[in-house]
Structure 1
Amino acid sequence: MVIADNHDIDNAPRRRIPTWLRETAVLVVVALVLSVLLQTFVGRVYYIPSGSMEPTLLVGDRIAVDKMAFRFGDPHPGDVVVFRAPTSSWNIGYSSTRSTNAIAKALQDAGSWAGLVAPDENDLVKRIVAVAGQTVQCCDSQGRVEVDGRPLEEPYVVMDFPFVDDALTCQTAPQSGRCFGPVTVPSGNLWVMGDNRSGSADSRAHASDELGGTVPVDDVIGKARLIVLPPSRWGTIDSPSIQQR
């Protein structure tokens, strides 16, 4: 064995990191930072796992959600929004998507931070039907949802419970699963419903919880703008003006 003296060590050639490798590392870091910033503050793509918003949104659709939409304005009736489950009653049937393996879970959490893995939270998508101060109920003599005594125009509702019109309102003689309310939406909250009225566990299903089924605006993540996948479903998500003026 030959032991180099100090002179040999000082003059030993140093290995340099290739320029292409340094540049690649920088690009990866920049891309991750941009991904985190964009998905935290600007927008994110969400997967639709159920049929509660059919036919507007189908199982398997991926939608682009605008997180900036309500930073400079208020949510309006007709908007389709993604929100976090506001109370424990909304989490019934939901289970964590994280692995039970500690290492795999740590990798999933890191991927979520980088915007590569979905967050470990129960995010839901529904349509706003009424806002703070409004009173919502169902139904009028034609089976329509009413807000402040006026029926809504809801062309997107195709699937609903049957309604029998015998000149009796839901308040005096309930006729079907459509009936609910009246509920006055508290300040800072929203009343939301799925477009698939006969297959959506929305505000109606949580009317007995501490928020009366309403969703705080603070829990709204953003407004659903586009269907981005699959390609055959590309298009905007309408936010019609549903309340008569």
Structure 2
Amino acid sequence: MAAKPWWRETLETVVWALVLALILRAFVVQAFWIPSGSMIPTLLPGDRVLVAKFWYHFTDPKRGQIVVFRYPVDPRRDFVKRVIGLPGETVEIRDGQVYINEEPIVEPYVQNRDFYNMSPVKVPPGEYFMMGDNRPNSQDSRFWGFVPKGFLRGPVLFRYWPPSRIGAVD
């Protein structure tokens, strides 16, 4: 058996690397860029994060997880927000305090509060209520409604840029 020419070995290696990269991006992990300040202080404009795209095939979203999802108003766009209300729960906001099933929730990640009020709404089955951490500057479920589970891309697991902020995101 004769050895393959160097150019053929190189070409095969590059092709296999591209195939593997496309499979990983499509089904396992994808990088996303944070364009706005709606998640300050947790995520800053310009941060780059990795999202586990396979995650919600095995488990349901949990309250407090930061998730990338297709924007319900324009599914060609991706948004990043925090899961606040789960299917079947009632979400209400009084003077900026979020209540789930009439109980206030603790949100240590919210440093910029507003005094927004929202009448109680019940989260439909298979949908989620999302909010940004920077409440005065976040377009979220308060304004455009619920996010279907099928729109969820996955939870944000890791920030890889900028180097000074590398680490897990919670």
Match of 2:113 in 1: 160
Match of 1:77 in 2: 63
Structure 1 stretches of 4+ with a deviation exceeding 4 A read none
Deviation at 1:19, TM superposition (A): 1.3
**Following the alignment from structure 1 to structure 2, what is the Cα–Cα distance between the partners of residues 181 and 218?**
26
Match of 2:135 in 1: 197
Match of 2:80 among 122, 125, 128: 125
One-letter amino acid of the counterpart of residue 200, structure 1: S
Q: Is the partner of 1:146 in helix, strand or coil?
A: strand
1:215 aligns with 2:143: no
One-letter amino acid of the counterpart of residue 57, structure 2: R
Deviation at 1:87, TM superposition (A): 2.7
Unmatched 5+ stretches in structure 2: none
1:188 aligns with 2:141: no
Give a deviation string over 1:116-167, Cα, whole Å, max 9, x none: xxxxx30110000011100001116xx4110000001100001122xxxxxx
Pick the structure with more strand per residue: 2
Q: Is the partner of 1:124 in helix, strand or coil?
A: strand
Q: Is the partner of 1:201 in helix, strand or coil?
A: coil
Match of 1:136 among 65, 87, 91: 91
Unmatched 5+ stretches in structure 1: 1-17, 92-120, 162-175, 207-212, 239-245
* Structure having the higher Rg: 1
Match of 2:33 among 47, 51, 66: 47
**What is the TM-score with the length of structure 1 in the denominator?**
0.66
Q: Is the partner of 2:55 in helix, strand or coil?
A: coil
Give a deviation string over 1:144-201, Cα, whole Å, max 9, x none: 110000001100001122xxxxxxxxxxxxxx4x111211000000000000000000
Deviation at 1:68, TM superposition (A): 1.8
Aligned length: 167
Deviation at 1:226, TM superposition (A): 0.7
